[in-house]
Amino acid sequence: MKIKVSVYRYNSAYQSRPKYDSFTIPYHQGMTVLDAILFIYKHLDSTLAFRYECRQGICGTCGVMLNRKPVLSCSTQINPKIKKNIIEPLANFPVEKDLVVNLKPLLKKYLKIKPYIEKIKKKIITKDIANKSKPYRKCIECGCCIAGMEITKTSKGCLDPMSLVKIARYLTDPRDGLNRKPIAKELGVKYYSEEIGRRISKSCPRGIPIDEVIKLVK
């Protein structure tokens, strides 16, 4: 059985607009998006640019859009019943080449929240205490939550959901002595409502409840 895949192609160094290349590839049961990308790269077009690392849904490196939805390519299966699966780079990020996005603007904003334990307090961490931050420690920083949100004039430039999750992680860690709520307020957390959070949560491959994050951070 063979399937058709349409892949986004773009090189910021010399192209003014993207294009889509179509490929026909052999399908096998359980085929992931990454399997399809690797087949294209190895057998059909070695110029295709993409990222991947662990292949276990842990490193957060391989995020892409599949049929307009953000996914981890290593753990998301291709649907052979779809006439043509469309693979694109993560939405809401500047594209460098093909499926590779530029993470520098995100990381620059990310550093503003001081993503590390600050003013460390000595504290015995029990299992119950550790469980409070557990939902937020599941974040693998893949960017799917950002790709899954609607960017408007109001939200543009605001703190991204990934950074909000990191703030929630430190707010629930008694060892951390820095109150990041004023930072979140300054960077535009007011844009987010719990309803927006619930919609963004659908894009998170780790199932992090962004609506609860927003409620906590506000």
pLDDT attached to residue 154: 56
Whether the CA torsion 36, 62, 214, 189 is positive or negative: it is negative
Determine the pLDDT at residue 52. Answer: 97
pLDDT the model gives residue 188: 87
C-beta atoms surrounding 174 within 10 Å? 15
Query: What is the C-alpha to C-alpha distance for residues 70 and 197, in angstroms, rounded to an integer?
Result: 16
Cα–Cα distance between 87 and 100 in angstroms, integer?
12
Residues 73, 61: Cα–Cα separation, whole Å: 9
Considering the chain, tell me which residue range(s) the CATH 1.10.1060.10 domain(s) occupy.
Answer: 104-217
According to DSSP, residue 151 is labeled: P
Domain at 2-101: CATH architecture: Roll (3.10)
- CA–CA dist 212, 184 (Å, integer): 15
What are the start and end residues of each CATH 3.10.20.30 domain in the chain?
2-101
pLDDT < 50: residue spans in the chain:
none
Identify the pLDDT of residue 124.
Answer: 87
Q: Which fold has domain 104-217?
A: Fumarate Reductase Iron-sulfur Protein; Chain B, domain 2 (1.10.1060)
- pTM of the model as a whole: 0.92
The predicted structure's pLDDT at residue 49: 98
Residue 86 pairs with which residues in a beta bridge?
Answer: 6
DSSP 63: E
pLDDT at 118: 87
**pLDDT tens per residue, range 85-111:** 999 999 999 999 999 999 998 888 889
Both structure tokens of 190: 């007011």
Distance between CA 178 and CA 162 in Å, rounded?
18
